[in-house]
Amino acid sequence: MKARALGADGVLIGRAALYGLASGGEAGASRAIEILFEEARRCVGLLGDNALAGIGAHVLRSGFGFAPMAGPWETADVMFI
């Protein structure tokens, strides 16, 4: 979705199809592509649209105000990554 929102006309999905092919032959590759299609359709719906053509830069969030989540690995002076 991010690539589409940034103006891409298409994306490559070769790895997913190859994993499906390796695990289930032609049926596995077909199922992998179906899963990607279903996921894309779900994402478009969650973004409030009903067509991929409506996805644009307006669906992206800017990095302004981003703050990493606090966790037990952080102290006041040091953050371990």
Per-residue pLDDT tens digits of the chain, which is 81 residues long: 888 888 888 888 889 999 999 999 999 999 999 999 999 999 999 988 888 888 888 888 776 655 555 555 554 454 444
Q: How far apart are CA 43 and CA 3, in angstroms?
A: 13
What's the total number of domains in the chain? 1
Q: Residue 76 domain-assigned? A: no
Please give the pLDDT value at position 58. Answer: 85
Which helix (H) or strand (E) covers residue 22, if one does?
Answer: helix 14-46
Q: Residue 79 domain-assigned? A: no
Q: Residue 11: which domain range? A: 2-55
Q: How far apart are CA 55 and CA 37, in angstroms?
A: 15
Q: Residue 67 domain-assigned? A: no
Q: Residue 80 domain-assigned? A: no
Phi-psi category of residue 65: left, alpha or beta, with phi > 0 → left and psi -120 to 50 → alpha: left
Please give the pLDDT value at position 70. Answer: 54
Please give the pLDDT value at position 59. Answer: 84
- pTM of the predicted protein model: 0.65
Q: How far apart are CA 16 and CA 31, in angstroms?
A: 10
Q: Residue 72 domain-assigned? A: no
Q: Residue 33 domain-assigned? A: yes
Please give the pLDDT value at position 65. Answer: 55
